[in-house]
Amino acid sequence: MFHKAIILSLGMLTLAGCNAQKKTKTPEIKAGTASDMKNTKASEKEGIIYFNQGENKFLPKYQMNVTFKGISEDSRCPEGVNCIWAGVAIAQVEVMSTTSRPVTLNLATMDNTGRNYHKSEGFNGYTISLEEVSPFPKSDGGAKALEGKYRIGIKFTKTGATRSETTRK
């Protein structure tokens, strides 16, 4: 009888824990809201499409699925600090066309061939360029404090080459 009471109480605690997790979930932002539409139109006007870290969008205009995976390096000079080098941020962007497998592009805020930093890369007949990375690191927290809060702006330019034609040999 004592064992049944323990098992019953553990079951009730488990169910209570599951219910508590459901209540603390953050609400998802629905696509198509007025503010979302305004941001989309503004970014299309400039030709720049913005992504929050972890965000995935299908872009029908380019027939591509694009996911901003994260920032693999952020050595940009923090605000309010004098630095010798401006630094660089590298965004990992996964792209996939309707006829290809996913490819991860490492797009940098600057071109530096010696360090293998490229601001643009070709994929599926488009040149994909990193135009903006925000927010900028602060002197007190650095890049670690920004994990999960990054936002990038990328631009698509029509080219004739596919990724297979532009890869390094």
pTM: 0.63
- Residue 130, CA distances (Å) to 35, 92, 163 in order: 24, 10, 17
Taking only the tens of pLDDT, the chain with its 169 residues reads 766 777 766 666 565 555 444 444 433 433 343 344 444 444 454 788 999 999 999 999 889 999 999 888 888 888 777 888 888 889 999 999 988 899 999 999 988 888 888 999 999 889 999 998 888 777 666 555 567 678 899 999 988 655 444 444 4
* Domain residue ranges of the chain, discontinuous segments joined by +: 43-166
Residue 46 Ramachandran class (φ > 0 left, ψ -120 to 50 alpha, else beta)? alpha
Is 132 strand, coil or helix?
A: strand
Q: Does domain 43-166 have CATH number 2.60.98?
A: yes
Number of H helices and E strands in the chain, helices first, is 3, 8
Please give the Cα distance from 71 to 95 (Å, whole number).
15
SS3 38: helix
